[in-house]
């Protein structure tokens, strides 16, 4: 038995030397000192030995147990240190490496364009007024001289929010910023007005390279005692030259909007070909920049202003389309498809 113990000790110490990882150590401990380990088995069997052998074998077995435990603790510490050193080396922190740059954001091209437009009109004395996105049928159409069933309503395909049949004035997503005209007039009467109304508009229409179903407009409204068409044309010309370039020429064409009389559309000479004709202007030499006109007497009185004493002009500019012209962007869908490669060009 004593011989068996000596052999066990030699073998155990040898195999402990070979343990490289904490898992190896664990296995070793179970094999010799665990509940089912070889040494534990011998210690348990001491009771069944002849009485004269018991003290000697018991004592020797306990000595070996203490030595193996001490050897195990020392080896475990060594393995832990090695493992730590290996981990530190693998995950070494190189403090001389350059840091990862933290990119700073910038304004979206639409926001930038809106701010350019605000700045130009601010110099001409226009204040910014924000109206609401969700409007009533009455504000979006009725009070703008388009009673129910007026054919001009077909000019704007509408996203309805409430049932048309069950509401006196159903809700909708505004199809243009023009309902803001009524809201400002009702709020400001009897003062003269000079405001721009920026905002998002919604149209239930096909998305194409030129048309989105959500886009921005900037409405302009001036109401005073002696406002004329000349003021409107002067204002649009001043805007076009500031926004598109000082050399721009303006062309005015007759048009139709139910809420202005007379109605016009303003074009600029093509910024790419200067009027000679090219792909951008579809070989006409001109690009449309705004719908406009003198505020219709019905609309003035719906806003609370007596059309015999007051007159006014209004215009509606897009925002994305002017930006497309200015920066040579040929697809409006790029604005809101969140492709950073596109957006970063306008930082």
Q: Can you read off the two tokens belonging to residue 15?
A: 């195999």
Nearer to ligand FA5, 28 or 315 (CB): 315
Distance CA 145, CA 111 (A): 31
User: Which parts of this chain interact with ligand FA5 (CB under 6 A)?
Assistant: 176, 178, 203, 205, 211-212, 215, 217, 219, 257, 260, 288, 291-293, 314-316, 318, 320-321, 332
Distance CA 158, CA 51 (A): 105
Burial class (CB in 10 A: 0-12, 13-18, 19+), 144: buried
Nearer to ligand FA5, 37 or 220 (CB): 220
Half-sphere CA count of 197, side-chain side, radius 13 A: 25
Please report how close the Cβ of residue 243 comes to ligand FA5 at its closest, in angstroms. Answer: 13
Q: Can you read off the two tokens belonging to residue 198?
A: 């920026």
Please report how close the Cβ of residue 316 comes to ligand FA5 at its closest, in angstroms. Answer: 3
Nearer to ligand FA5, 15 or 214 (CB): 214
Q: What is the 3-state secondary structure (H, E, C) of 225-243?
A: CCCCHHHHHHHHHHHHHHH
Q: Nearest to ligand FA5 by Cβ — which residue? A: 318
Nearer to ligand FA5, 72 or 175 (CB): 175
Beta strand 193-202 with 127-128 is: parallel
Please report how close the Cβ of residue 225 comes to ligand FA5 at its closest, in angstroms. Answer: 20
Distance CA 26, CA 267 (A): 85
Nearer to ligand FA5, 29 or 256 (CB): 256
Please report how close the Cβ of residue 345 comes to ligand FA5 at its closest, in angstroms. Answer: 20
Please report how close the Cβ of residue 197 comes to ligand FA5 at its closest, in angstroms. Answer: 10
Nearer to ligand FA5, 136 or 178 (CB): 178
Please report how close the Cβ of residue 288 comes to ligand FA5 at its closest, in angstroms. Answer: 6
Q: Using omega within 30 degrees of 0 as the cis cutoff, is the peptide bond preceding 190 cis?
A: yes
């Amino acid at each position: 038995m004593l011989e068996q113990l000596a052999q066990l000790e030699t073998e155990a110490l040898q195999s402990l030397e070979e343990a490289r990882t904490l898992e190896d150590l664990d296995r070793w401990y179970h094999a010799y000192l665990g509940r089912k380990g070889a040494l534990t088995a011998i210690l348990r069997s001491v009771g069944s030995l002849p009485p004269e052998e018991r003290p000697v074998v018991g004592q020797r077995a306990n000595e070996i147990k203490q030595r193996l435990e001490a050897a195990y603790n020392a080896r475990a510490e060594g393995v832990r240190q090695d493992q730590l050193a290996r981990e530190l080396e693998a995950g070494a922190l190189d403090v001389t490496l350059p840091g990862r740059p933290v990119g700073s954001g910038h304004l979206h091209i639409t926001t930038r364009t809106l701010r350019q437009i605000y700045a130009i009109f601010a110099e001409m004395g226009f204040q910014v007024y924000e109206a609401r996105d969700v409007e009533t049928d009455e504000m979006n159409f009725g009070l703008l001289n388009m009673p129910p069933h007026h054919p001009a309503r077909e000019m704007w395909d509408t996203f309805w929010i409430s049932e048309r049949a069950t509401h006196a004035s159903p809700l909708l997503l505004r199809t243009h910023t023009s309902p803001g005209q009524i809201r400002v007039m009702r709020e400001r009467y009897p003062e003269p007005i000079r405001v721009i109304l920026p905002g998002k508009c919604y149209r239930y229409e096909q998305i194409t390279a030129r048309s989105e179903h959500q886009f921005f407009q900037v409405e302009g409204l001036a109401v005073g005692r002696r406002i004329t068409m000349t003021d409107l044309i002067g204002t649009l010309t001043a805007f076009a030259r500031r926004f598109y370039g000082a050399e721009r020429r303006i062309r005015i064409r007759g048009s139709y909007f139910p809420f202005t009389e007379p109605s016009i559309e303003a074009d600029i000479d093509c910024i790419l070909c200067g009027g000679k004709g090219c792909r951008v202007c579809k070989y006409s030499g001109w690009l449309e920049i705004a719908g406009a006109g003198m505020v219709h007497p019905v609309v003035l009185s719906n806003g609370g202003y007596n059309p015999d004493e007051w007159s006014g002009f209004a215009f509606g500019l897009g925002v994305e389309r002017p930006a497309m012209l200015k920066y040579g962007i040929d697809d409006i869908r790029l604005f809101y498809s969140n492709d950073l490669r596109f957006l970063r060009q306008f930082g």
